[in-house]
């Protein structure tokens, strides 16, 4: 009877995940102590898309990304990258952690941080050659930070720090870009610069997934959304999934109806 | 013999030392709790190592002035002054430069200690024999203590304890919530200073008993032990004081009867014994309890995920989940559900649907806040409410629960 | 001063002091940046119980078993700190303090209980070593440096410190990139596939290796001081890690040389006739260098974004 019941409730068995999806998460559960932060989440990222992970504070957005990258240990579940295990496909992922997660007083320069993105290429002992520096400078150029290459990183503004992190991810020359709150606490110019880079990545056929906070910009920045509040609440194109019903359910009535109406307006 | 020591029947000096050590242990446990809650446990390490140059300089001054260099009150005043300077150096380094607190503490403790050793070697050359006894500040020594010294320790321990008891309310308020404490008119900076001053008093008075290397243990171990037994600041203060007093009392008594058992190490090891027992056996935060809870929790998560997968006809990816379902008689070894499994799965899925509605409906907001993916819906909603939700879901009714 | 006096009496102690200081300062750079400076403190305290246990097991005071015992104790302490921190959910500082005081207390107690009166093994020695005694009796002047017979009589501590320094250098050279990456941005390093936890433990073990070799020769005060003071002062001199490491080596060498000279000759200059503790003086000089850096170094303040 379970199958009929399931069908009744609109939870039809899902199609098999396409094996070439840049990121497929299955049954992921992560808990800090006794509280599951992410519970039994499935996610399938479409190739060449820009996906926003959306949900209220503490809904497990960052944790989901970290679990997919093996940074936090899940209680259950697994992530496949381009149909392979994380270990086999790590080189195809670039990751931009939250800006606040590092000590910006660290004694290093902007260009050195970008060169960290070449770690997999350089390995332990290979020497840094002029063409590596060229590549790092080109990445800085893309985010408009060329003039700051020799600055100590502590002397940057928040927005500039975020751009340096993005440049480091660009240096990784990956196919899948995972960004944790790239727009948190940055100035308007930086936000524009970052979204321009992300869109150009998409036009090159790369896939972008970002944890995102600002509901008003979802429609203009992203083409797909993934709504999460511990459980997956909705997943799909912005038109299909970014609906007031889904938002209400995700935010559990914490968004005033007026706010949602506004979002619908920006859509039009 | 040990019984005599524990019950304070072993002569004046030993009795005084034991009483002093016990009072000091209580004061250390209580003060240490506030240090720990303010996340500054290791500052005490800087305080204790920074006493050494003060002891050396005080000795030299007293000798130069023609007195007996070993007079305990003088040495303790010297110790207090130099460790206060050490504290100032720590806060100056962290406040004025980019160095973090741990580097500042480490720098101060090693440099002051090194300088103290230099002074000790100077004293050794000042006149043979006269310096004998200063080394005892490194590891503490209560054997053969003078009556006056024992009196100083007993009085010092009592005074420190009184000061701690007087200040315990504002300190607890500060440790619990600094902003609230400030709003209540407590001067946070001055109170932090008071905590430091008390830690310093404990350290200085404990020097002769425990020695400067191990005195930190009296400030650090009891609060960590107490943390396992309670979440309340006031209880933690009491338990910590109790542990500190107990360890100090046992340590002083044991070493009074067995001179080969130095007081300091015994106190530390008794403290550590209490800590280990708490680490493993404490009912809620203890390792054993936490491990059992984790295993149960993981099992619940896997069961629930497995049931939901069964209900939705999805494959189960994890072998552990299949094993659990199989063991509970809900699925066969290959993951195909049994009859009972189907029923349980349907119930799980229905509960999910119920939760979905609860969480979308603002009327149930307080119940929705309890959602964690595992909680049985029956534990947060009444039967009537569930019936109402089922009404809205529609579909087949009367799922066996 | 003539070579005849300097080479046998001062050259080897000074050299051992310098090498030990550098061996500790190098890993110290990373410990300070990782806010683990006090791990050095903890390690140097637990060396004592390690040595005592080694003595109790083997019954002899020999270098090899003692080094092993000390290294074993360092490993035990690292495991214990981690275990207490994770199992009990206790902040690292408290876990550290708890661990090293307990192990040190156990060491002192064992020492008092066992019959070590016949051998040279005491707490004071463990704390401030005996750098001055590491003399090279076979040397008669500078030319002894070329004399194989005399060279064979070099104090064995020198060889051990050299090996430890080489080990430290090899580790830093080989793992420089992942170390920098995981120190600066741990989650990015993990996403790159670097085993940051294992690397962290390896760093602490390398620090322990340096500590044990240095401790053997110079006692534990120098070890703590050299782990922290030269790197901390160096951090205030520059904003680049490579330069910081270079400065820390300079400061370590300076502390060791000046400290040794002041301890040996300073009292004579002041009219006293006895030398003071070289280990204590080296720590003191490193503190003075740090104080000067904290007052005058170009990058002593936290950097801020320039107002645009």
Domains defined for chain B, CATH in brackets: 2-261 (1.10.3470.10), 288-393 (no CATH)
For position A2, what pLDDT does the model report? 37
Q: Which residue has the higher pLDDT, A197 or B152?
A: A197
List the single residue in B135, B217, B223 with the smallest CB-CB distance to C124. Answer: B135
Q: What is the CA radius of gyration of chain C?
A: 20
Helices marked H in A76-183 — which ranges?
86-89, 110-116, 119-122, 130-142, 158-171
CA angle A188, A189, A190 (to 5 degrees): 90
For position B391, what pLDDT does the model report? 79
For position A9, what pLDDT does the model report? 37
Q: What is the CA radius of gyration of chain B?
A: 30
For position C43, what pLDDT does the model report? 87
Dihedral sign for Cα atoms in the order C233, C237, C239, C245: negative
The pair of three-digit structure tokens given for residue C162, joined into one six-digit string: 């050299």
Q: Which residues 375-394 on chain B approach chain A with CB closer than 8 angstroms?
A: 393
Residues in chain C within 8 Å Cβ distance of B114: 221-222, 225, 279-284, 286-287
The pair of three-digit structure tokens given for residue B376, joined into one six-digit string: 């049985």
Q: Read off the pLDDT band of A137 (50, 70, 90).
A: very high
d(CA A14, CA C25): 59
Q: Read off the pLDDT band of A257 (50, 70, 90).
A: low
Residues in chain C within 8 Å Cβ distance of A84: none
For position B114, what pLDDT does the model report? 92
Contact between residue B93 and residue C228 where contact means Cβ atoms under 8 Å apart:
no
- Residues C3-219, CATH architecture: Orthogonal Bundle (1.10)
Map tokens 């275990």 to a residue. Answer: C83
Q: Is pLDDT above 80 for A69?
A: yes
What average pLDDT is seen over chain B?
Answer: 84
Residues in chain A within 8 Å Cβ distance of C302: 105, 154
pLDDT tens by residue, C56-91: 888 777 778 888 888 888 889 988 998 898 888 888
Using the Cβ of C88 and the Cβ atoms of chain B, whether some distance falls under 8 Å is answered with yes
Helices marked H in chain C — which ranges?
3-6, 12-33, 37-58, 63-88, 92-113, 123-128, 148-151, 156-184, 186-191, 196-218, 220-235, 241-269, 278-296
The residue extents of the domains of chain C are: 3-219
Q: Which of B97, B289, B312 to probe by mutation at the A interface, max A CB count within 10 Å? A: B312
Query: Cβ of C108: how many Cβ atoms within 10 Å?
Result: 27
List the single residue in B114, B265, B272 with the smallest CB-CB distance to C225. Answer: B114
Instruction: Please answer yes or no on whether B362 and A34 come within 8 Å at the CB atom.
Output: no
Q: Is pLDDT above 70 for C265?
A: yes
Q: With CA atoms as reference, report the closest residue to A201 among A96, A88, A112, A81.
A: A96
Residues in chain B within 8 Å Cβ distance of C113: 260-261
Using the Cβ of B261 and the Cβ atoms of chain C, whether some distance falls under 8 Å is answered with yes
Contact between residue B378 and residue B399 where contact means Cβ atoms under 8 Å apart:
no
The pair of three-digit structure tokens given for residue B209, joined into one six-digit string: 């008993």
List the single residue in B40, B217, B285 with the smallest CB-CB distance to C101. Answer: B217
Residues in chain A within 8 Å Cβ distance of C298: none
Q: Which residues pair with A31 in a beta bridge?
A: A36
d(CA A244, CA A230): 19
Using the Cβ of A157 and the Cβ atoms of chain C, whether some distance falls under 8 Å is answered with yes
For position A3, what pLDDT does the model report? 36
Residues in chain C within 8 Å Cβ distance of A116: 180-181, 184-185, 188
List the single residue in A71, A87, A154 with the smallest CB-CB distance to C190. Answer: A71
d(CA A111, CA A168): 9
Percent of chain B with pLDDT over 90: 26
Q: What is the CA radius of gyration of chain A?
A: 19
d(CA A181, CA A171): 19
pLDDT tens by residue, B259-313: 677 888 899 999 999 999 999 998 888 888 888 888 888 888 888 888 888 888 7
For residue A242, the enclosing domain spans 2-267
Chains that touch C (3 or more CB pairs under 8 A): A, B
d(CA B244, CA C294): 38
Question: Residue A205: which CATH number?
Answer: 3.40.50.300
For position A260, what pLDDT does the model report? 59
Using the Cβ of B368 and the Cβ atoms of chain A, whether some distance falls under 8 Å is answered with yes
Q: Which of C43, C94, C115, C211 to probe by mutation at the B interface, max B CB count within 10 Å? A: C94
Q: Is pLDDT above 90 for C307?
A: no
Using the Cβ of B305 and the Cβ atoms of chain A, whether some distance falls under 8 Å is answered with yes
* Strand A231-237 relative to strand A84-85, pairing: unpaired
pLDDT tens by residue, C137-172: 777 777 878 888 888 878 888 888 999 999 999 999
For position A14, what pLDDT does the model report? 42
Which residues in chain B show pLDDT less than 70? Answer: 1-2, 5-6, 8-10, 127-133, 142-144, 259, 360, 362, 365, 368-369, 371-373, 395-401
For position A1, what pLDDT does the model report? 34
Query: Cβ of B127: how many Cβ atoms within 10 Å?
Result: 10
Q: With CA atoms as reference, report the closest residue to C26 among A35, C69, C18.
A: C18
List the single residue in A31, A39, A78 with the smallest CB-CB distance to B317. Answer: A78
What's the whole-model pTM score? 0.86
pLDDT (mean) for C210-232: 87
Instruction: Please answer yes or no on whether C191 and A87 come within 8 Å at the CB atom.
Output: no
Structural domain total, chain A: 1
The pair of three-digit structure tokens given for residue B262, joined into one six-digit string: 């130095």
Q: Which of A72, A99, A106, A107 to probe by mutation at the C interface, max C CB count within 10 Å? A: A107
For position B285, what pLDDT does the model report? 83
Q: Which of B45, B117, B286 to probe by mutation at the C interface, max C CB count within 10 Å? A: B117
Percent of chain B with pLDDT over 70: 91
For position A12, what pLDDT does the model report? 35
pLDDT (mean) for A165-190: 93
Chains that touch B (3 or more CB pairs under 8 A): A, C
Query: Cβ of B25: how many Cβ atoms within 10 Å?
Result: 33
Dihedral sign for Cα atoms in the order B279, B282, B285, B286: positive
Dihedral sign for Cα atoms in the order A102, A105, A110, A115: negative
Query: Cβ of A210: how many Cβ atoms within 10 Å?
Result: 25
Helices marked H in B72-214 — which ranges?
72-96, 101-126, 136-139, 147-176, 178-183, 188-210
Instruction: Please answer yes or no on whether B100 and C276 come within 8 Å at the CB atom.
Output: no
- Our CA-based measurement puts residue B280 at a distance from the nearest CA of chain A, in whole angstroms, of 17
DSSP 8-state class, residue C274: S
The pair of three-digit structure tokens given for residue A175, joined into one six-digit string: 């196919």
Map tokens 């400076």 to a residue. Answer: C37
d(CA C17, CA C161): 9
The pair of three-digit structure tokens given for residue C119, joined into one six-digit string: 């051998």
Query: Cβ of A32: how many Cβ atoms within 10 Å?
Result: 11
Which helix (H) or strand (E) segment holds residue C240: the answer is none
Proportion of chain A in helix, strand, coil states, percent, rounded to 5: 45, 25, 35
Q: Is pLDDT above 90 for A168?
A: yes
Contact between residue B204 and residue B31 where contact means Cβ atoms under 8 Å apart:
no
Using the Cβ of B284 and the Cβ atoms of chain C, whether some distance falls under 8 Å is answered with no
Instruction: Read off φ and ψ for residue A224, nearest 5 degrees.
Output: -130, 155
For position B138, what pLDDT does the model report? 79
Length of chain A (residues): 268
Q: Which residue has the higher pLDDT, C130 or A103?
A: A103
Using the Cβ of C127 and the Cβ atoms of chain B, whether some distance falls under 8 Å is answered with yes
Q: Is pLDDT above 80 for A267?
A: no
């Amino acid at each position: 009877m379970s199958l009929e019941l399931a069908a009744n409730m609109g939870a039809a068995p899902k199609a098999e995940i396409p094996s070439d999806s840049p990121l497929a998460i299955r049954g992921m559960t992560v808990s800090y102590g006794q509280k599951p932060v992410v519970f039994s989440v499935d996610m399938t990222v479409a190739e060449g898309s820009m996906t926003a992970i959306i949900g209220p504070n503490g809904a497990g957005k960052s944790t989901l990304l970290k679990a997919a990258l093996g940074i936090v240990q899940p209680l259950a579940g697994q992530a496949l990258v381009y149909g392979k295990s994380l270990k086999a496909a790590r080189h195809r992922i670039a990751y931009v952690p939250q800006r606040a997660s590092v000590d910006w007083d660290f004694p290093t320069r902007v260009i050195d941080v970008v060169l960290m993105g070449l770690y997999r290429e350089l390995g332990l002992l290979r020497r840094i050659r002029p063409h590596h520096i060229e590549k790092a400078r080109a990445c800085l150029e893309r985010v408009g930070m060329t003039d700051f290459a020799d600055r100590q990183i502590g002397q940057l503004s928040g927005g500039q720090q975020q751009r340096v992190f993005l440049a480091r991810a660009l240096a990784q020359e990956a196919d899948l870009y995972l960004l944790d709150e790239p727009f948190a606490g940055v100035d308007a110019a930086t936000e524009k610069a970052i979204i321009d880079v992300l869109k150009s990545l998409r036009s090159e056929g790369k896939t972008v997934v970002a944890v995102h906070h600002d509901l008003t910009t979802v429609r203009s920045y992203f083409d797909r959304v993934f709504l999460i509040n511990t459980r997956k609440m909705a997943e799909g194109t912005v038109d299909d999934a970014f609906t007031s019903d889904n938002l209400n359910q995700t935010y559990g009535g914490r968004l005033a109806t007026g706010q949602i109406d506004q979002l619908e307006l920006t859509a039009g | 013999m040990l019984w005599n020591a524990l019950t304070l029947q072993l002569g004046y000096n030993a009795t005084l030392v034991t009483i002093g050590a016990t009072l000091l242990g209580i004061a250390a446990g209580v003060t240490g709790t506030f240090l720990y809650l303010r996340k500054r446990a290791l500052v005490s390490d800087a305080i204790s190592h920074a006493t050494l140059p003060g002891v050396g300089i005080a000795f030299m001054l007293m000798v130069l002035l023609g007195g007996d260099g070993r007079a305990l009150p003088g040495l303790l005043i010297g110790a207090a002054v130099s460790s206060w300077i050490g504290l100032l150096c720590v806060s100056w380094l962290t406040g004025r430069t980019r160095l973090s607190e741990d580097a500042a503490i480490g720098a101060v403790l090693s440099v002051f200690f090194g300088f103290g050793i230099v002074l000790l070697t100077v004293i050794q050359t000042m006149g043979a024999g006269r310096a004998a006894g200063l080394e005892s500040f490194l590891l503490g020594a209560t054997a053969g203590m003078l009556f006056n010294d024992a009196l100083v320790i007993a009085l010092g321990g009592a005074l420190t304890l009184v000061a701690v008891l007087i200040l315990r309310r504002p300190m607890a308020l500060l440790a619990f919530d600094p902003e609230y404490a400030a709003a209540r008119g407590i001067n946070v900076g001055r109170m932090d200073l008071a905590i430091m001053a008390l830690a310093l008093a404990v350290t200085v008075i404990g020097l002769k008993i425990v020695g400067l290397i191990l005195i930190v243990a009296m400030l650090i171990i009891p609060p960590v032990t107490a943390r396992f037994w309670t979440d309340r600041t006031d209880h933690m203060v009491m338990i910590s004081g109790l542990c500190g007093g107990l360890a100090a009392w046992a340590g002083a008594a044991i070493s009074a009867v067995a001179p080969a058992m130095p007081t300091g190490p015994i106190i530390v090891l008794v403290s550590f014994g209490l800590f280990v027992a708490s680490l493993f056996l404490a009912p809620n935060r203890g390792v054993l309890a936490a491990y059992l809870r984790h295993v149960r929790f993981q099992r619940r998560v896997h069961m629930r995920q497995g049931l939901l997968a069964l209900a939705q006809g999805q494959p189960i990816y994890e072998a552990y989940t299949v094993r659990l379902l199989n063991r509970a008689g809900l699925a066969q070894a290959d993951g195909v559900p049994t009859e009972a499994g189907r029923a349980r799965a349907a119930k799980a899925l229905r509960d999910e649907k119920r939760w979905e509605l609860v969480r979308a409906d603002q009327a149930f907001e307080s119940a929705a806040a309890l959602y964690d993916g595992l909680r049985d819906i029956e534990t947060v909603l009444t039967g009537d409410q569930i019936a109402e939700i089922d009404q809205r879901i529609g579909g087949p009714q009367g799922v066996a629960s | 001063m003539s070579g005849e006096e300097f080479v046998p009496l001062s050259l080897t102690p000074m050299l051992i002091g310098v090498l030990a200081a550098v061996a500790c300062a190098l890993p110290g750079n990373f410990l300070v940046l990782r806010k683990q400076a006090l791990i050095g403190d903890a390690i140097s305290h637990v060396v004592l119980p390690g040595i005592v246990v080694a003595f109790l097991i083997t019954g002899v005071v020999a270098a090899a078993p003692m080094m092993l015992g000390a290294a074993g104790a360092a490993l035990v302490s690292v495991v214990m700190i981690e275990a207490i921190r994770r199992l009990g959910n206790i902040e690292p500082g408290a876990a550290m303090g708890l661990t090293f005081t307990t192990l040190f207390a156990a060491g002192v107690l064992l020492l008092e209980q066992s019959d070590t009166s016949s051998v040279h093994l005491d707490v004071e020695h463990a704390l401030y070593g005996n750098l001055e005694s590491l003399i090279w009796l076979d040397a008669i002047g500078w030319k002894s440096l070329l004399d194989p017979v005399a060279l064979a009589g070099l104090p064995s501590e020198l060889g051990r410190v050299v090996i430890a320094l080489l080990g430290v250098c090899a580790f830093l050279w080989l793992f420089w990139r992942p170390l920098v990456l995981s120190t600066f941005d741990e989650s990015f390093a993990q996403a790159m596939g670097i085993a940051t936890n294992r690397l962290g433990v390896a760093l602490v073990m390398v620090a322990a290796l340096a500590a044990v070799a240095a401790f053997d020769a110079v006692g534990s005060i120098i070890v703590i001081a050299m782990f922290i003071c030269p790197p901390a002062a160096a951090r205030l001199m520059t904003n680049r890690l490579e330069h910081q490491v270079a400065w820390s080596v300079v400061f370590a060498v300076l502390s060791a040389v000046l400290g040794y000279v002041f301890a040996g000759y300073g009292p004579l200059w002041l009219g006293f006739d006895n030398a003071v503790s070289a280990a204590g003086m080296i720590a003191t000089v490193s503190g003075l260098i740090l104080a000067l850096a904290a007052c005058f170094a170009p990058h002593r303040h936290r950097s801020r974004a320039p107002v645009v």
